[in-house]
Amino acid sequence: MEKVRVNLGPGYDICIGEGILSGLGPALNEYGLSPKTLLVSNSSVDKLYGDKVSRSLEKAGFTVAREVIPDGEEHKNLQTASRLFDAAAAARLDRRSAVVALGGGVTGDMAGFVAATYLRGLPLVQAPTTLLAQVDSSIGGKVAVNHARGKNLIGAFHQPLLVWSDLETLQTLPYRELLTGLAENIKHGIIADTSLFYYIRDSLAAILAASHASVAEMAARSCRVKVGVVEQDELEQGLRAVLNLGHTFGHAVESVTGYCRYRHGEAVALGIAAASRLSHSLGILPEHDLKEIISLLERAGLPVSGTGLTPGELYEALAYDKKVVAGEIRFVLPVKIGKAEVFQGLQQEDILQAFRTVC
Amino acid sequence: MEKVRVNLGPGYDICIGEGILSGLGPALNEYGLSPKTLLVSNSSVDKLYGDKVSRSLEKAGFTVAREVIPDGEEHKNLQTASRLFDAAAAARLDRRSAVVALGGGVTGDMAGFVAATYLRGLPLVQAPTTLLAQVDSSIGGKVAVNHARGKNLIGAFHQPLLVWSDLETLQTLPYRELLTGLAENIKHGIIADTSLFYYIRDSLAAILAASHASVAEMAARSCRVKVGVVEQDELEQGLRAVLNLGHTFGHAVESVTGYCRYRHGEAVALGIAAASRLSHSLGILPEHDLKEIISLLERAGLPVSGTGLTPGELYEALAYDKKVVAGEIRFVLPVKIGKAEVFQGLQQEDILQAFRTVC
């Protein structure tokens, strides 16, 4: 088992290993928690791993209230959160009760939001079962639910007590879900780790086959990129914004398509493609790097164009982006493979042009 | 205008003055905020002061989205919060947009919860218009909404940018609301400031007549007690618990009566009475101090007994209290007038006996 230490708040560990889910209960015994816990997962994950995790917790002395939420981004809202608050109250959780999020990004974000706000904050244990959650959403403390007007509009910063990543769960992950996680790994390479980018390029076939060794190597490196960035900027005052590469454009795509048509990582891939082309057309990103980026996304089977949307409707959706401050949108653009920066004061025409490349 | 500095987070000021509401706009110009603001108040407060505050903000260059929530503790829930999230989204607030809470504790708690979670945290301006909010709920960063199973179960710690207390608003405050705030002032005296307690005792007639000088003196001293406690323990790890004197019993009363029959301060008065009698019967609080406490509450017209409830149902309601940790309830008991402490391991019979004195 590999441990990555995160120095935020009191500090916590990301534990990455193969077949470690059944060890979660004993691991939690180290933290002085109350016996009552709330285990949150979605219907598909609960069927696969709910019993295993529940048994592990119970054997370690915990009482487990198990709550299964519906699967899918469209349920990541205040109504579903409200059901989890009901479950927390019915289970009579107290301030040292852990909320365990077993699942992907939606489960982690929702259970995390409930953990951040129930009794003004409960210990949160992230047990991510998707590649996306393992290398991205479970790390860094961002938790949220969507609002009809935009993604993640309601949320908090709430660092977990522990992240417990079992790579074995990737074996049961649908291929499209593996791909959506891959987009974030590629993003981590582009913004901060040239060698990670080329590692993914050179090991793509093995990664797409969910080969343990290749995915483990990629996931651990990718975690370190994210940890390195959030440690320097927990509350997204500056540097952390580079993690949003592809996300400003990508959120607009998700928003216009109602969070249904594209998986998050697919929308991010479209966003990375748009941002990279814009960066190149502004004379920032070299042509060689642009070609490498587009080619890797395409070889991975991720979308880079052809959404059938209009630039105008995508531009309109930007107004609800959290990253808009005082009417000005900040964009993250790749400078080269391995480095991204935040740009302000871009012209509307540039942004429309970037959107046009994915329409 | 008097300023009390609060050294929490980046630090903020509590400004207390007479007729200062119309100066709020210019005051906010110092903070580098976005022009878009959300002004939240309830229907009665909006009628009295909404235009004045709105004009002040607009004259200072802000665009004001005005949202009026229904009056009363029973509306302090996720459903009303959801309306405020809608208003925030419709107004296209950004991360430097202020949420201004104009009103009493319910308005401050609700608008504060929305400010704490919308876009993962917006600047919050508290403009409290009740005595309770001015000396208690607007200070210290606790924000929350109620859950059907208990009060303030869903919330956060979110320190305001500024607290702007206009004592002139107390002139329009219903008498019963003045009383409910008085209970918290008396509490502050009991837990930490002997001379504040006796100041209230000796100036009671003037305070009940809302005499400016007496209320101002009491409010400023009372603020300082609260600020002193929360500065030492922002996240309620220890000392801050003494502020809960009367609140564990009081919340049980409010919960059993559905938050309708008693004003918060009245429930707290019942709780202070119960806690003081329990403390005396355990040999902790001297008889003289018990008599002074009960006598002051009674002279103020606050309830100290006769709820008609049963000790059993009140005891049952305790299980949902946030202050329960690992099944154990911690109680704050007065040790003498001017000092309170947290006690653990009290027997069920003692607690039932304390409840019996208010039944």
Query: Which pLDDT score is estimated for B313?
Result: 93
Convert the pLDDT of each residue in A268-304 to its tens digit: 999 999 999 999 999 999 999 999 999 999 999 999 9
Query: Which pLDDT score is estimated for B324?
Result: 65
Distance from CA of A252 to the nearest CA of B (A): 15
Q: Does A153 touch chain B (CB under 8 A)?
A: yes
Q: Considering only CA atoms, which of B18, B12, B327, B328 is closest in space to residue B166?
A: B18
Query: Which pLDDT score is estimated for A51?
Result: 98
Q: Does A117 touch chain B (CB under 8 A)?
A: yes
Convert the pLDDT of each residue in B80-126 to its tens digit: 999 999 999 999 999 999 999 999 999 999 999 999 999 999 999 99
Does the pLDDT of residue A191 top 70, yes or no? yes
Does the pLDDT of residue B279 top 80, yes or no? yes
| ipTM surpasses 0.90 | no
Angle between helices B194-202 and B175-192 (to 10 degrees): 140
Considering only alpha carbons, which residue of chain A is nearest residue B152?
A: A119
Query: Which pLDDT score is estimated for B327?
Result: 65
Largest Cα separation within chain B, whole Å, is: 60
**CA A303 from centroid of its chain's CA atoms:** 18
Q: Considering only CA atoms, which of B342, B307, B312, B300 is closest in space to residue B325?
A: B342
3-state class (DSSP) for residue A317: helix
Convert the pLDDT of each residue in B199-219 to its tens digit: 999 999 999 988 888 988 999
- What average pLDDT is seen over chain B? 93
Cα separation, B245 vs A287, in Å, equals: 68
Task: With cut-offs at 50, 70 and 90, classify the pLDDT of residue A346.
Answer: confident
Convert the pLDDT of each residue in A47-61 to its tens digit: 999 999 999 999 999
Cα separation, A159 vs A124, in Å, equals: 8
Q: What is the DSSP letter of A118?
A: B
Q: Which is the catalytic residue, given B76, B158, B224, B240? A: B240
Higher pLDDT, B125 or A71: B125
Q: Is B158 known to be catalytic?
A: no
Q: Where are the alpha helices (DSSP H) in chain B?
A: 24-28, 43-45, 51-59, 78-90, 105-117, 131-132, 175-192, 194-202, 204-208, 212-232, 247-256, 264-281, 287-299, 311-317, 348-356
Convert the pLDDT of each residue in A116-143 to its tens digit: 999 999 999 999 999 999 999 999 999 9
pTM: 0.89
Q: What is the DSSP letter of A283?
A: T
From the CB of residue A23, how many other CB atoms can be counted at a distance below 10 Å? 16
Does the pLDDT of residue B134 top 80, yes or no? yes
Does the pLDDT of residue B326 top 80, yes or no? no
Task: With cut-offs at 50, 70 and 90, classify the pLDDT of residue A260.
Answer: confident
Cα separation, A348 vs A355, in Å, equals: 11
Does the pLDDT of residue A320 top 90, yes or no? no
Residues in chain B: 359
Who contacts B221 (Cβ-Cβ below 8 Å, separation ≥6)?
Answer: B188, B193, B196, B199
Listing DSSP states for A233-245 in one string gives -TT-SSGGGGGGT
Chain B interface mutation, best of A82, A86, A117, A318, highest count of B Cβ atoms under 10 Å: A117
Does the pLDDT of residue B320 top 80, yes or no? no
Q: Across the strands, what pairs with A16?
A: A2, A165
Query: Which pLDDT score is estimated for A326?
Result: 59
Bridge-based pairing state of the strands B12-17 and B2-6 = antiparallel
Cα separation, A224 vs A149, in Å, equals: 33
- What average pLDDT is seen over chain A? 93
Query: Which pLDDT score is estimated for A311?
Result: 93
B116 to chain A: which residues are within 8 Å by CB?
156
Query: Which pLDDT score is estimated for B5?
Result: 92
Distance from CA of B98 to the nearest CA of A (A): 12
Query: Which pLDDT score is estimated for B112?
Result: 98
Task: With cut-offs at 50, 70 and 90, classify the pLDDT of residue A150.
Answer: confident
Cα separation, B297 vs B272, in Å, equals: 9
Our CA angle for B288, B292, B295, nearest 5°, is: 135
Q: Considering only CA atoms, which of B158, B131, B152, B179 is closest in space to residue B302?
A: B179
**In this complex, do A156 and B89 lie within 8 Å of one another by their Cβ atoms?**
no
Q: Considering only CA atoms, which of A339, A324, A201, A198 is closest in space to residue A279?
A: A339
Q: Does A121 touch chain B (CB under 8 A)?
A: yes
Q: Is B142 known to be catalytic?
A: yes
Mean pLDDT confidence for A241-252: 92
Q: Does B119 touch chain A (CB under 8 A)?
A: yes
Mean pLDDT confidence for A59-65: 98
Bridge-based pairing state of the strands A324-325 and A328-329 = antiparallel
**Alpha carbon of A298 to those of A266, A270, A281, A288, B135: distances in Å?**
11, 10, 20, 15, 61
Does the pLDDT of residue B75 top 70, yes or no? yes
Mean pLDDT confidence for A147-163: 93
Does the pLDDT of residue A325 top 70, yes or no? no
Query: Among A110-119, A189-198, A319-328, B102-111, where is mean pLDDT lowest?
Result: A319-328
Phi, psi at residue B187, to the nearest 5°? -55, -45
Convert the pLDDT of each residue in B155-183 to its tens digit: 999 999 999 999 999 988 988 889 889 99
Query: Which pLDDT score is estimated for A137?
Result: 93
Task: With cut-offs at 50, 70 and 90, classify the pLDDT of residue B236.
Answer: confident
Who contacts B126 (Cβ-Cβ below 8 Å, separation ≥6)?
Answer: B101, B108, B112, B133, B138, B160, B162, B163, B164
Higher pLDDT, B163 or A347: B163
| Candidates B82, B85, B144; nearest CB to A120 | B144
**In this complex, do A85 and B147 lie within 8 Å of one another by their Cβ atoms?**
yes
Our CA angle for A101, A102, A105, nearest 5°, is: 75
Distance from CA of B116 to the nearest CA of A (A): 7
**In order of start, what are the domains of chain B with their CATH numbers?**
2-172 (3.40.50.1970), 175-356 (1.20.1090.10)
Considering only alpha carbons, which residue of chain A is nearest residue B141?
A: A120
Query: Which pLDDT score is estimated for A114?
Result: 98
Q: Considering only CA atoms, which of B230, B138, B214, B149 is closest in space to residue B182?
A: B214
Q: Are B359 and B353 in contact (CB under 8 A)?
A: no
Cα separation, B225 vs B186, in Å, equals: 11
Query: Which pLDDT score is estimated for B245?
Result: 95
Query: Which pLDDT score is estimated for B322?
Result: 66
Task: With cut-offs at 50, 70 and 90, classify the pLDDT of residue B74.
Answer: confident
Distance from CA of A239 to the nearest CA of B (A): 16
Does the pLDDT of residue A321 top 80, yes or no? no
**In this complex, do A147 and B89 lie within 8 Å of one another by their Cβ atoms?**
yes
